[in-house]
Amino acid sequence: MPATNDSGRLFTIVLVTSWYSSNIGVLLLNKYLLSNYGFKYPIFLTMCHMTACSLLSYIAIAWMKMVPMQTIRSRVQFMKISALSFVFCASVVSGNISLRYLPVSFNQAIGATTPFFTAVFAYLITLRREAWLTYITLIPVVTGVIIASGGEPSFHLFGFIMCIGATAARALKSVLQGILLSSEGEKLNSMNLLLYMAPIAVLLLLPATLFMEENVIGITIALSRDDIKIVWYLLFNSALAYFVNLTNFLVTKHTSALTLQVLGNAKGAVAVVVSILIFRNPVSVTGMLGYTLTVIGVILYSEAKKRSK
């Protein structure tokens, strides 16, 4: 029996490590491509991610049978998934645009305010109120980002607005997902949801990248002739983007919701440290204090939510 427990614990450790590595890896590689490498095409990059998610989701579900395939039951359900896909696209594209202008550490600090936006959208859309204590815990979350913004040496207004937009869109997607796919007949697990959302995202992103990022495909082909590494970067980055979703699903399945929250909070802090070590972007004491305050606020928020249930 202990051997089974040990192997189960080892499997969970491997899963969590894979989740962290893929999450932080895709973030750092996006930053490297968009900022350091000079591949200034965030919409095309997101489209590559979604293309990989479409193909690999189909392989994982239809061929490898990792989860049973769930079918779309109605046109209404399809429209709901399409709406979610649009919001999902907006969040990923905005996040990638922000990485062109902001260091990963500051990007993560802003991303930590997701609970604030989730609470705001949940109230605006469903009029569902949380306990007062839950709202009070959001004060350090927002205050921390305001302090971090004031102390950020690499602050960029447009990048900041894009990052706030990405965080808000991410929160909106989670609230809408809870509302739109709440009935038993419409619920999809995250792997099946990605299977349907990713191809819709590609169809949304293709005209956007062709219109807004002129001749991006021609430029990428020309770049690959000069440096074949760009092809491998894009392929690896896109596969990693799918792996983020796969490991997130598996970690959710094999751990509790509370463990996932704790791991999620710690993941942002790990990403900040790793990005500073790799990119050596300047950080100020004020910025780190602000980020620390935000993380403490998120932990308190998680606790308050748990107690109010």
pLDDT one-digit tens code per residue, 79-115 = 999 999 999 999 999 999 999 999 999 999 999 999 9
Q: What is the arithmetic mean of pLDDT over 237-243?
A: 97
Q: Are 187 and 71 a contacting pair, CB within 8 Å?
A: no
Report DSSP state, residue 66.
S
Q: How confident is the model at residue 257 (pLDDT cuts 50, 70, 90)?
A: low
- For 301, the domain range is 2-308
* 71: alpha, beta or left? (left if phi > 0; alpha if psi -120 to 50): beta
Q: Are 91 and 26 a contacting pair, CB within 8 Å?
A: no
The dihedral through the CA atoms of 273, 276, 277, 279 has a sign that is: positive
pLDDT the model gives residue 179:
87
pLDDT the model gives residue 61:
97
pLDDT the model gives residue 96:
97
Query: Which has the closest alpha carbon to 252: 67, 4, 65?
Result: 67
Number of folded domains that form the chain: 1
Instruction: Classify burial at 277, counting beta carbons within 10 Å of its beta carbon; exposed 0-12, middle 13-18, buried 19 or more.
Output: exposed
Whether 1 has a pLDDT exceeding 50, the answer reads no
| Angle separating helix axes 104-111 and 285-308, nearest 10 degrees | 30
pLDDT tens digits, one per residue of 20-44: 999 999 999 999 999 989 899 999 9
pLDDT the model gives residue 91:
97
Whether 242 has a pLDDT exceeding 90, the answer reads yes
For residues 169 and 95, give the distance between their C-alpha atoms in angstroms, rounded to a whole number: 10
For residues 280 and 53, give the distance between their C-alpha atoms in angstroms, rounded to a whole number: 31
